[in-house]
Amino acid sequence: MVDGLDADTYDALVTAAETYRAALVVRLAGEAGLRTEEITRVAPRHLREAESVAGARLLAVPAGDDGSAEGESPPSDDEPVDRETVVPASLAADLDRYATSEGLDEDDPYVDVSPRRVQMIVSETAARAAGLTDAALDERVTPSSLRKTFARRQLVDRGVDPRAVRDAGGWESLGTLDPYLDPLDGEALAAAIAGDEGTADPSAERVTRTVLPGFEALAEPGSAAPAAAVAAGLIEADRWAEAWVVRRAVGGGRADVTDAAGVDRETLADRGVAAGGPWLDVITDGAPATTDGRQETDGRPAVAVPVASEGVVHGALCAVAADGDPVGEPERRALTALGGCLGRAITAERWRELLHSDAVTEVEFHTTDERAFLARASERLGCRIELASTVDVDDDVSRAYLSVDGARPQDVAAVVESAPGVSDFRVIETGEDGCSASVRLADGSLVRALIDHGATVRDASAADGRVRVVADFPEGTNVRPVADGLRDRFADVRLASKESVARSPRTESSLRDGVADRFTDRQWAALSAAYHGGYFDWPRGSTAEEVADAMDVSSPTFHNHLRKAQRALLDGVFEDNADRPIREGDERATPPGG
């Protein structure tokens, strides 16, 4: 018998992945059979449509002996490819969505970290899952365990041709299989794994037909809000009679239906959806739930999954079956992935609204909770600390760049050593009575939590043990659920003020008008880390290698993102230069022969 995780345990592991990338890491190993180092090499250019089976997607796995640097993709011309494997439709849609949201080029790896970090992501996700579920989950789960899960699902659960499983996963043999069986090419794999409906688990095969429309609706550009688009997409399949999205109402005891398809809100209200149901537990616990039939679902089986992004739960996505068939585990896993995509789309929509709005909702939060590092440090040192910037390093890890006034670097370092979730203190520049420095935050922060809710943080500082954060939300945002979510992490967070203000003509985005859309998240992170790390100062406060190390990426990867970010910035400055009138003293070059 092939070892691996059973369906419930694997589902718990996928559900526990708090970030888009962590979920991809788990699924690339568990559903595509990739090895640890292979996960770091695959890029958008490696994913293609199968010609022999409609809707099947093949993923080419680059060979690892081509001499390319760790974390970098090899050239696309004559690239050595080890094999091709079949990617489930839901995972393929998630990869497409991730590449779009992150602004990945065709050559950029989906998971641009070291193999060691891939192992840590799986281990951290397993530990989180073990604490969130009753499933018998060993915290020592590895990518190798997930590859065995892939093999078990194909061989035992689906009865796939062992030759196809062997070649899809890149094994020389499986158990007692003859290692000299003729290899199968990518098209044959697609026919064996994606095209053999007769031996497949009916519930698993149903996923492609019933959940994929939701992913497609989310990825389709248009005017519809993402939640409404997903709900409408789901009911296009005969499997779902209704789909709706709920969020917790102010006060926490009820739910508000924000979007619905296949049923109107009045009918849902009459059934008592707002008064209670498993969706409220989903919003609170962040774990999916199924039901065989309730009054709120008109007696039909249903599933509710969290609509979440970066640990922020926006609400719950609910799908009600059109018949009496219970919701299977593959459907629940696929809908959970869809809920994660929807959560990220909602956060991105809030950022777009904030970028283009003429007015914003300005909020100010205060906290003295010692779990907030700025509060802890300013109280113990009697100093003032200003947060210059935060840069995402990996999943729920950030690097914070600080300006400290009234404390010596060695004293700040001592507080860092005793603070949970804070590490890697680095001095950038020392002053007469303070310093500029950076720290690694592994447990998140009040600032990061607000950014994950779709806010733009304009000011963050701490003095005498009290943190003050000023942030902007899109006009009309209901701030109360945001405040409730912050209190789950920092118990004494207080909403000090809230007002609608006109956007200042000199905001951070004014310089970046016309340029912001050119940056990917990675390019912006590299540019921000370099700027706040003193890389552009003279003499330099940090070398490129030091900034790259602080961001947990290789030096070539950092230089790649930084150079692209600089080019995008300079394009915004110079591309319209021809429209400027020439003034006296202008040294613009005259074309040859001019």
Residue 305's nearest CA partner among 313, 296, 297, 295 is 313
Which of 306, 338, 355 corresponds to the end of one domain? Answer: 355
| 119 and 60 part of one domain | yes
DSSP 306-336: EEEETTEEEEEEEEEESSSPPPPHHHHHHHH
What's the mean pLDDT in 323-350?
Answer: 82
Q: Which residue has the tokens 């340029």?
A: 515
Tell me the chain's radius of gyration from C-alpha atoms: 26
Q: How far apart are CA 192 and CA 186, in angstroms?
A: 10
Q: How far is CA 103 from CA 79, 100, 192, 478, 510, in A?
A: 23, 5, 33, 29, 22
**CATH code for position 299:** 3.30.450.40
pLDDT in tens, 272-281: 888 878 888 8
What's the mean pLDDT in 327-347?
Answer: 83
| 138 and 266 part of one domain | no
Q: How far apart are CA 323 and CA 239, in angstroms?
A: 7
pLDDT confidence bin for 506, thresholds 50/70/90? very low
Mean residue pLDDT of the chain comes to: 78
Give percent of the chain above pLDDT 90.
18
Q: How far is CA 141 from CA 127, 133, 149, 421, in A?
A: 9, 15, 11, 23
Q: How far is CA 73 from CA 77, 147, 186, in A?
A: 12, 23, 21
Q: Which residue has the higher pLDDT, 434 or 158?
A: 434
pLDDT confidence bin for 517, thresholds 50/70/90? low
| 55 and 192 part of one domain | yes
Q: How far apart are CA 337 and CA 331, in angstroms?
A: 10
Return left, alpha or beta for 382; rule: phi > 0 is left, psi -120 to 50 is alpha, else beta: left
Q: What is the pLDDT of residue 319?
A: 92
| 68 and 93 part of one domain | yes
| 38 and 96 part of one domain | yes
pLDDT confidence bin for 37, thresholds 50/70/90? very high
pTM above 0.75, yes or no: no
Q: What is the pLDDT of residue 396?
A: 64
Q: What is the pLDDT of residue 163?
A: 75
Detail the DSSP E strand segments found in 340-482.
Answer: 359-367, 384-394, 397-405, 422-431, 434-441, 456-463, 466-474
Q: Is residue 380 part of a domain?
A: yes
Q: In this predicted structure, which of 72-81, 175-184, 274-283, 386-395 has the lowest mean pLDDT? A: 175-184
| 281 and 228 part of one domain | yes
| 131 and 85 part of one domain | yes
Q: Is residue 65 part of a domain?
A: yes
Which of 168, 200, 232 corresponds to the end of one domain? Answer: 200
What's the mean pLDDT in 516-524?
Answer: 73
CB 280 within 8 A of CB 295: no
Q: How far apart are CA 369 and CA 422, in angstroms?
A: 15
| 377 and 412 part of one domain | yes
Q: Is residue 228 part of a domain?
A: yes
Q: What is the pLDDT of residue 73?
A: 40
pLDDT reading at 577 higher than 50:
no
In 3-state terms, what secondary structure has residue 206?
helix
What kind and span of H or E run contains 569?
helix 555-574
What's the mean pLDDT in 44-61?
Answer: 88
Residue ranges making up the domain that contains 135: 7-200
pLDDT reading at 541 higher than 50:
yes
pLDDT reading at 74 higher than 60:
no
Q: How far is CA 58 from CA 168, 194, 460, in A?
A: 10, 10, 47
pLDDT confidence bin for 515, thresholds 50/70/90? low
Q: What is the pLDDT of residue 65?
A: 54
Which of 311, 326, 355 corresponds to the end of one domain? Answer: 355
Q: Is residue 510 part of a domain?
A: yes
Q: Based on the structure, what is the number of domains in the chain?
A: 3
pLDDT in tens, 441-471: 876 577 877 877 777 888 899 999 999 999 8
Q: What is the pLDDT of residue 474?
A: 77
Q: What is the pLDDT of residue 357?
A: 64
Backbone angles phi, psi at 119, to 5 degrees: -60, -40
Q: Is residue 580 part of a domain?
A: no
Q: Which residue has the tokens 């990220």?
A: 344
Q: What is the pLDDT of residue 403?
A: 93
Q: Is residue 489 part of a domain?
A: yes
pLDDT confidence bin for 580, thresholds 50/70/90? very low
Q: What is the pLDDT of residue 457?
A: 83
What's the mean pLDDT in 299-306?
Answer: 90
Edge to edge, the sheet with strand 456-463 lists 422-431, 434-441, 397-405, 384-394, 456-463, 466-474, 359-367, 494-502
What's the mean pLDDT in 524-544?
Answer: 83
pLDDT reading at 505 higher than 60:
no
Backbone angles phi, psi at 325, to 5 degrees: -65, 130
